[in-house]
Structure 1
Amino acid sequence: MVTRQITSELPEEFKAGTSGPKVGVRHLQAVLLFFGFCVSFMQRSNLSLAIVAMMDRNSTNPDFPEYAWSEQTKSLLLSSFFWGYLVMQIPSGMLVQRFGGKVVLLCGVGITGILALLTPYSAQLGDWQLTCGLRVVQGFCQSVLYASGHAILGQWAPPAERGILTTICYSGPQFGTIVIMSIGGKLATSQFGWPSIFYISGGCGIIWSFVWLLCGANSPRQSKLISSRERNYIEAALAEISESENNATTAKLTTPWLSIFKSVPFWALMICNCTYNWGFSTMMTQIPSYFKNVYNQDIQSNALLSALPYAVNVVLGLCFCALAHKLLSAKVTSTNASRKIFNTIGMWIPMAASIALGSIDADQPDLAVILLTVAVGVNSATFLGAMVSVIDLSPNFAGTLMSITNFAGTMLSIIAPLVVGVIVTDATNPNQWRYIFYIVALLYFIGNLPFLILGSSKLQPWNEPVQRNAKRVERNAEIGRGA
């Protein structure tokens, strides 16, 4: 994968610090990534909604098969996606490093789309066991999402625009969840039944793959759509923070594993990502079941209520992005302070909402909707915190860093639905759900604290190849002797 090729003789108008085109191909890449994440999360969360209809003893749509699966089996199915997702996390970063984010992401989303189309047949032919196996393979393919996204953003996003481009990209998961949960109820009760939930999500993934094949690119240097003006602007902006002087390709860079694992800011990110994943996966997989069983919502109302928190998440994410950009532009906050402030908003306000959610009674559905909306909606502020800090630490190895942190986070994403299956043995009992929300709140508190104290937005020395650092030291020494 070719990264930026920095030209030392850039025209003056393209030097870093000057403005590039206000809207350009870098924004197109972020929008394409947005839709890529959108369709991926439609495929990831389709089962969370469809399984309500698949297990509906009251016959949501009697023309389609229904399955007498237990709550434990349901929890197993909902967590199975993350088994395959976990296995490939570290290798996915290496694949992105070797082949580039474009082709790896293309394969991941495209194959997952095909498998989504096959999901209804897997349930009919092999019951929950075959469905479980198919979900494992889907997770296996989608493990490349964040590593690819971060690697591509690391080469496309000038430092001053990382917040907005990252927010655009990572609003995709929430938007995809909104779409599938908003239309899922109507699809399940329509003449096409619950299988159409899988057909729609799978078809969207395949369509996106064709568009990405034509318009996506690993870096500005590889794009056929970008103007020389915008390309030089991006490359100069990235050159300013890395102080690179030589042309290089990421494929030739040796991953500094030891330096990464000795980095304190990296460990702060790791802990934060783990706890974020627990809360996000718990909410994504359990909200439909929670509303149906505790508040007796039918599947259409259930779908709309389940989608509302994610709609607010997208809207607030854009609002937080505008606010962060304004504060940084006015120099009210430093980059490091901005990352920590918004990460704290994104984790500790949802923490308070989760505690309150666990404390309300089963006869307060409206309050439950409000608290769930706050818990999931305000979570979007983390896009401007720990999520973008991965690129701050190392643009060259952003994909690898994301694959490592996501590996750890995915372990908790696997455990979270299983814990729900152990604790919530009676899905209609709100007292059992109470413990689930308290656990989410505790982990949100624990996750943000190290990032608040030890997190950093400073470019790490190991971002550059050893040879470059050595040359820089030697050059500085010569300058010192000359003085």
Structure 2
Amino acid sequence: MTLKGWKLILNRVIFIPQRYVLGIMGLFALANSFTMRVCLSMTITQMVVHTESSQHIVGEICPDNNNATAAGSSNNSSVTFEDRDRYDWDETTQGLLLSAFYYGYVITHLPGGLLAEKFGGKWTIGLGLLCSSVATALTPWIVSLWGATGLFCIRVIEGFGEGPVTPAFVLLLARWIPPSERSRFGAMIFGGAQVGNIFALYISGLILADGGDWANVFYLFSVLGIIWFIFWVFLCYSTPNTHPFISDEERNYLNENVAASGLHKKLDPVPFKALIRSAPLWVLIMAAIGHNWGYLTMNTDLPKYFSDVLKFNIMETGLMSALPYIAMYICSFIFAAFCDLCIRKKWHSISTGRKIYTTIASSVPALFIILASYSGCNRVEAVSFFIVSMAFMGGFYSSVKINAMDIAPNYAGTCSAFVNGIAEISGIITPYLIDLLTPNQTVEQWQLAFWTVFVVLVGTNILYVIWGSGEQQWWDDVAKYGYPPGWKHGPFTYIHTAKKLVYPKHDHSPISDD
């Protein structure tokens, strides 16, 4: 049978709109990426030697209800435990290891966005996650050979692979999803991060319980990533117009309703001169830094807080750490559906919606994080406040996470790379800072750490509310908007015509050939 015949059969058999297939596969992509990213937060509690400190510690220490301490000696670099080595890594070393992923993650954001715009999001995402999956599978072997140094390096490589994922998905959404559906699809795909968090934390707790081998955590999640890659290659494509078995009805609908001109023609080079002078882009970066500061503190250090401060055992730590992400995942869809409804009904503008849900996802969680820290050793109260805090963070997927495709649908990959790449520096700083602020894991030390989270979340939220925007910027489509008055930095794009190259005018008038 010819290729055209197979396409006709697939058109008849596959009745699900292909943008929903992309959404579902995107959900699993983010879920897999976060299982590989987060699993170290759980396994490191079992990879290290736990020792009793003989020094006097000032501050409240919660009682250990498990009545069990890990064996080991601080004089040895490692000890054998359940057929797997444990290592004498202090709090500072652990902080560096937990932040190692983000060194690679930050570096590949911008290259990933540029590659996605040039070659398409499909292979940028697929090969990136395949790289992370292979690195995760190699982690136990690398650690056995080179210890902390090897773990740091392999985590940086995992970050390299996952760095392009977010900007490439923002670009795919800009080219596949109409504006009135973006909040829902943003929540569906990027909410996969919470599925990954839930799965990674809970399943890791089950594997590690009763002396389970921590290497099995890395093996499981790497295999799931490789399986996902195989399905991704055959089911997903970079644009509707390159999809081999999308229905004509859906293709026509998307061509009529998706604003990104890159869907229909080759884009001019990225307008970096205007992009780096864009106030809406920079306040979006600030808002993302604030949100990531809070989210990544929870993402990286919450298992340690439950284990080392509230003294949950490893299985309880996995379950308690997963509960806030379940709440966040559920609420992200509620916020997204309501945001899309309000925009569709024109009850508020896109800009207003993004500001409302940025506030919900930043300032409200900041308050509940502080309340959780002042719960002391009251486990039920602390966990409840953390759950409520993360639930409100679900508004992030209707605001900051998708705002890049509002202000720049054509260059969403590059803009998202700027936003997420700079914001993910929080992932480098927060684990190290938390470990510096909490050397003895006392309640008072953690309160100071959580106050830093509060200040950053609220401060960056205020900046975004004042200067944020949900409107397409002029530099994203100069052919449509022209240059603003007072632009003195020279032309950065041109239009191909049958006769000549025509440079856009330095005003708001449409471009013409005369």
The answer to whether the aligner puts 1:467 opposite 2:497 as a matched pair is no
The aligned amino acid for 2:20 is H
- Secondary structure of 2:84's aligned partner: coil
The answer to whether the aligner puts 1:187 opposite 2:202 as a matched pair is no
**C-alpha distance after superposition, 1:211-232 (max 9, x if no partner):** 1111111110111231111011
The aligned amino acid for 2:405 is I
Is residue 42–residue 180 contact of structure 1 (8 Å, CA) maintained in 2?
yes
Structure 2 CA distance for aligned equivalents of residues 474 and 55 of structure 1: 62
Deviates more, 1:185-194 or 1:402-411: 185-194
* Residue of structure 2 in register with 1:442 after alignment: 455
* Residue of structure 1 in register with 2:19 after alignment: 26
The aligned amino acid for 1:423 is L
* Residue of structure 2 in register with 1:265 after alignment: 280
**Superposed displacement of residue 330, structure 1:** 2.9
* Residue of structure 2 in register with 1:9 after alignment: none
- Secondary structure of 1:387's aligned partner: coil
- Secondary structure of 1:235's aligned partner: helix
* Change in CA separation of 1:412 and 1:345 when aligned onto 2, cut-off 3 Å: same
* Change in CA separation of 1:316 and 1:346 when aligned onto 2, cut-off 3 Å: same
**Superposed displacement of residue 464, structure 1:** 2.1
Matches within 5 A, 1:171-182: 171-182=191-202
Is residue 87–residue 140 contact of structure 1 (8 Å, CA) maintained in 2?
yes
Is residue 504–residue 511 contact of structure 2 (8 Å, CA) maintained in 1?
no
**Superposed displacement of residue 124, structure 1:** 1.2
* Change in CA separation of 1:477 and 1:149 when aligned onto 2, cut-off 3 Å: closer
Q: Which has the larger radius of gyration?
A: 2
* Residue of structure 1 in register with 2:151 after alignment: 131
* Change in CA separation of 1:56 and 1:182 when aligned onto 2, cut-off 3 Å: farther
**C-alpha distance after superposition, 1:63-93 (max 9, x if no partner):** 3222221111111100111111122222222
Structure 1 CA distance for aligned equivalents of residues 42 and 234 of structure 2: 32
**C-alpha distance after superposition, 1:421-461 (max 9, x if no partner):** 2111112x111111111111111101111211111111111
**Superposed displacement of residue 59, structure 1:** 5.0
The answer to whether the aligner puts 1:48 opposite 2:63 as a matched pair is no
* Change in CA separation of 1:175 and 1:246 when aligned onto 2, cut-off 3 Å: closer
**C-alpha distance after superposition, 1:313-332 (max 9, x if no partner):** 10000111122122223332
Structure 1 CA distance for aligned equivalents of residues 405 and 20 of structure 2: 17
Among 243, 263, 266, the residue aligned to 1:223: 243
Deviates more, 1:184-193 or 1:142-151: 184-193
Task: Give percent identity, aligned residues only.
Answer: 27
* Residue of structure 2 in register with 1:304 after alignment: 319
Among 85, 94, 101, the residue aligned to 2:121: 101
Contiguous gaps of at least 5 residues in structure 2: 1-13, 51-68, 72-80, 479-492, 496-501
* Residue of structure 2 in register with 1:65 after alignment: 85
* Residue of structure 2 in register with 1:411 after alignment: 425
The answer to whether the aligner puts 1:331 opposite 2:346 as a matched pair is yes
Contiguous gaps of at least 5 residues in structure 1: 1-20
* Residue of structure 1 in register with 2:467 after alignment: 454
Structure 2 CA distance for aligned equivalents of residues 82 and 450 of structure 1: 25
Is residue 188–residue 195 contact of structure 1 (8 Å, CA) maintained in 2?
no
* Residue of structure 2 in register with 1:365 after alignment: 379
The aligned amino acid for 2:451 is Y
* Residue of structure 1 in register with 2:59 after alignment: none
Structure 2 CA distance for aligned equivalents of residues 236 and 329 of structure 1: 17
Is residue 92–residue 143 contact of structure 1 (8 Å, CA) maintained in 2?
yes
* Residue of structure 2 in register with 1:401 after alignment: 415
Structure 2 CA distance for aligned equivalents of residues 155 and 357 of structure 1: 41
**C-alpha distance after superposition, 1:336-380 (max 9, x if no partner):** 211111111111110111221232222x11111011112222111
Structure 1 CA distance for aligned equivalents of residues 186 and 475 of structure 2: 23
Structure 1 CA distance for aligned equivalents of residues 443 and 512 of structure 2: 70
The aligned amino acid for 1:288 is P
The aligned amino acid for 1:304 is L
Count of matched residue positions in the alignment of Structure 1 and Structure 2: 453
**Superposed displacement of residue 246, structure 1:** 10
Among 317, 324, 331, the residue aligned to 2:332: 317
* Residue of structure 2 in register with 1:432 after alignment: 445
Is residue 357–residue 437 contact of structure 1 (8 Å, CA) maintained in 2?
no
Structure 2 CA distance for aligned equivalents of residues 408 and 477 of structure 1: 34
Structure 2 CA distance for aligned equivalents of residues 187 and 295 of structure 1: 21
* Change in CA separation of 1:23 and 1:336 when aligned onto 2, cut-off 3 Å: farther
**Superposed displacement of residue 189, structure 1:** 2.5
Higher share of residues assigned helix: 1
* Residue of structure 1 in register with 2:357 after alignment: 342
Give the CA RMSD over aligned residues: 2.4
Is residue 313–residue 379 contact of structure 1 (8 Å, CA) maintained in 2?
yes
* Residue of structure 2 in register with 1:198 after alignment: 218
The answer to whether the aligner puts 1:86 opposite 2:101 as a matched pair is no
- Secondary structure of 1:386's aligned partner: coil
**Superposed displacement of residue 475, structure 1:** 8.3
